[in-house]
């Protein structure tokens, strides 16, 4: 009788443990499913609550103003300075602003030289021998006039000779020194005018 009771007790305890384990797993799974469902519901609710009118912030992106300021800082201002200056006087050299800067860098002289001399010699090409494209008084002696095929041709041919003959590699040479060989007969007005135009272009 005792042996039978012990066996029944062992069987009962075993079955109770198995049933408890099964119930625990069921509870855990249902909890997980409920949490998952709630997460999806929350996500759906959050998504549905957002509209295209809601502001979206991107902290890593610079503002539009910052982009403009960066562009201005990295851009070379010299062609625009020249362009605006030539435009102010209605000069036909305006389309060649970039080329003027390019040639001055290539031949190592101040970008203002070609503009300042053109202004001193011809009012920025407004008063030149007809069809000569010669704004710099280059090779003009009385009836003798050096002619070029275009303003671009003139710039490309004058730039290397200018630095070789008159500047000799001295980028910031004084206009009074250049005047001695560029136009020796001048009483100093040439250098004064070129210096003034240099100042206007700063």
Q: Per residue, what are the HEC states of 128-178?
A: CCCCCCCCCCCCCECCECCCCCCHHHHHHHHHHHHHHHHHCCCCCCCHHHH
DSSP state at residue 77: -
Whether 61 is in a domain gets the answer no
Whether 104 and 191 share a structural domain = yes
Whether 174 is in a domain gets the answer yes
Please state the domain count of the chain.
2
Residue 141 phi, psi (nearest 5): -135, 105
* Among 101, 68, 104, CA closest to 83: 101
CB 122 within 8 A of CB 64: no
Whether 87 and 41 share a structural domain = no
Q: List pLDDT tens digits, range 107-140.
A: 999 999 999 999 999 999 999 999 999 999 999 8
Whether 175 and 112 share a structural domain = yes
Whether 114 is in a domain gets the answer yes
Whether 84 is in a domain gets the answer yes
Q: Nearest 5 degrees, angle CA 65-CA 70-CA 74?
A: 150
Percentage of the chain lying above the pLDDT 70 cut: 61
Whether 35 is in a domain gets the answer yes
Q: Nearest 5 degrees, angle CA 164-CA 182-CA 197?
A: 100
Percentage of the chain lying above the pLDDT 90 cut: 49
Q: CATH number for the domain including 87? A: 1.10.530.10
* Among 92, 104, 86, CA closest to 151: 92
Whether 113 and 50 share a structural domain = no
Whether 85 and 41 share a structural domain = no
Whether 97 and 10 share a structural domain = no
Whether 183 is in a domain gets the answer yes
Q: List pLDDT tens digits, range 47-63.
A: 444 454 555 444 444 55
Q: List pLDDT tens digits, range 147-179.
A: 999 999 999 999 999 888 888 767 678 999 999
Q: Residues near 195 by Cβ (< 8 Å), separated by ≥ 6? A: 175
Expressed as residue numbers, the domain containing 155 is 77-200
Whether 64 is in a domain gets the answer no
Q: Nearest 5 degrees, angle CA 101-CA 189-CA 198?
A: 25
Whether 47 and 111 share a structural domain = no
- Tell if the pTM clears 0.75, that is, is over it: no
Whether 115 and 161 share a structural domain = yes
Whether 99 and 160 share a structural domain = yes
């Amino acid at each position: 009788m005792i042996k039978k009771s012990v066996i029944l007790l062992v069987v009962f305890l075993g079955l109770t443990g198995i049933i408890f384990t099964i119930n625990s797993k069921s509870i855990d799974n249902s909890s997980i499913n409920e949490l998952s469902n709630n997460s999806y519901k929350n996500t759906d609710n959050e998504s549905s609550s957002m509209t295209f009118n809601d502001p979206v912030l991107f902290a890593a992106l610079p503002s539009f103003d910052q982009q403009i300021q960066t562009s201005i800082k990295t851009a070379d201002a010299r062609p625009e300075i020249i362009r605006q200056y030539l435009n102010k006087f209605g000069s036909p050299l305006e389309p060649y602003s970039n080329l003027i800067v390019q040639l001055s860098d290539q031949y190592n002289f101040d970008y203002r030289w070609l503009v300042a001399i053109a202004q001193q010699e011809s009012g920025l090409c407004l008063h030149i021998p007809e069809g000569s494209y010669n704004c710099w008084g280059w090779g003009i002696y009385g009836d003798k006039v050096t002619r070029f095929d275009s303003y671009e041709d003139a710039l490309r041919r004058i730039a290397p000779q200018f630095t070789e003959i008159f500047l000799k590699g001295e980028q910031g040479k004084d206009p009074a020194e250049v005047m001695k060989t560029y136009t020796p007969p001048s009483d100093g007005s040439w250098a004064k005018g070129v210096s003034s135009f240099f100042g206007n272009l700063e």
